[in-house]
């Protein structure tokens, strides 16, 4: 089957029921998207499907179809997406394992809600667990990214 990941169309040989996460990681060798729970509970596997934040660990690859998959590797060529810049500026990461998922959730939120309230930020990222507890800076960084994004317009 064909799979469009970060603008490149791949011919993928994988069982239809294999979750997109494992196609990305084990078949295409793109390990930026993380495995955390396997049941859409932690958000570490978050990617964009046509711009929507989606948990790739429970999504059979056959259901992706022609939709565009964006992973952390494709969010920006060099880590300069406003969310990534805010993440660096606010010094968010600790162990870093959940951060690709956090960043993908935050980027999808801001794409649809450029000026989110704190409640909207909390809701949009409630599905992304961070065991290091970097939540406070995650919240600050999403706010900072929103401000920056508006300033860039």
Partner 1 sequence: MTALSRREMLRASLLSGAGLFVAFHIPRKARAAAQPPAKPLPDPNAFVRVAPDGSVTVLLAHSEMGQGIWTGLAMLIAEELDCNWSKIRVEHAPASPVYAHPAFGIQMTGGSTTTWSEFDRYRQAGAMARAMLVRAAAAQWKTDPKKLRTENGFVLRGSDKLSYGELAVAAQAQTPPKSVKLKDRKEWKIIGKPTRRLDSPEKITGKAQFGMDVRLPGVRTALVARSPVFGGKVKSFDASKAKGVKGVEQVVQVPSGVAVVASNFWSAKLGRDALTVDWDPGPGATLDSAALVKSYRETARTKGTVAAEKGDAETALSKASKRVVAEYDVPYLAHATMEPLNATVKLEGDRCEIWTGTQFQTMDQLTAGRIAGIPPQNVSIHTQFLGGGFGRRATPSSDFVAEAVQVAKAAGVPVKVMWTREDDIQGGFYRPLFLHRIEAGLDDKGLPSAWKHTIVGQSILTGTPFEKMMVKNGIDETSIEGIVDSPYFETVPARLVTVHSPRSPVTVLWWRSVGNTHTAFAMESMIDELAWAAGRDPLEFRTAMLADHPRHRRALQTAAEKAGWGKPPPAGRARGLAVHESFGSIIAEVAEVSVDDQKEIHVHKVSCAVDCGTALNPLGIEAQVQGAVAFGLSAVLHSELTLKEGRVEQSNFHDYQVLRLPDMPTVTVQIIESDAKMGGIGEPATAPISAAVANAVYALTKKRLRSLPLRFA
Residues of this chain that bind partner 1 (CB under 8 A): 15, 18-19, 22, 25-27, 29-39, 41-42, 44, 71-73, 76, 78-79, 84, 87-88, 91-100, 103, 121-123, 125-139
Minimum CB separation from partner 1 for residue 141, in Å? Answer: 10
State which residue, 20 or 49, has the beta carbon closest to partner 1. 20
Residue among 56, 13, 62, 6 nearest 35 (CA): 56
Minimum CB separation from partner 1 for residue 14, in Å? Answer: 8
What whole-number distance in Å separates Cα of residue 119 and Cα of residue 132? 22
Cβ proximity of 122 and 140 under 8 Å: no
State which residue, 50 or 118, has the beta carbon closest to partner 1. 118
- Rounded to the nearest 10 degrees, how much is the dihedral formed by the CA atoms of 149, 97, 50, 80? 30
Q: How many CB atoms lie within 10 A of CB 8?
A: 10
Minimum CB separation from partner 1 for residue 30, in Å? Answer: 8
State which residue, 42 or 49, has the beta carbon closest to partner 1. 42
State which residue, 27 or 68, has the beta carbon closest to partner 1. 27
Q: What is the DSSP string of 85-117?
A: HHHHHHT--SS-TTHHHHHHHHHHHHHH-SS--
Minimum CB separation from partner 1 for residue 40, in Å? Answer: 9
């Amino acid at each position: 089957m064909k799979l469009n990941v970060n603008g490149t169309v791949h011919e993928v040989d994988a069982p239809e029921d294999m979750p997109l996460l494992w196609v990305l990681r084990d078949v295409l060798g793109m390990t930026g998207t993380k495995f955390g729970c396997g049941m859409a509970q932690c958000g570490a596997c978050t990617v964009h499907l046509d711009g929507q934040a989606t948990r790739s660990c429970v999504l059979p690859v056959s259901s992706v179809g022609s939709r565009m998959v964006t992973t952390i590797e494709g969010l920006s060529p060099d880590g300069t997406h406003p969310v990534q810049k805010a993440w660096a500026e606010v010094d968010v990461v600790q162990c870093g394992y959940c951060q690709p998922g956090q960043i993908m959730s935050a980027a999808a939120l801001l794409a649809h809600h450029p000026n989110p309230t704190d409640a909207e930020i909390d809701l949009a990222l409630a599905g992304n667990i961070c065991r290091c507890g970097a939540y406070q800076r995650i919240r600050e960084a999403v706010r900072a990214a929103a401000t920056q994004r508006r300033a860039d317009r």
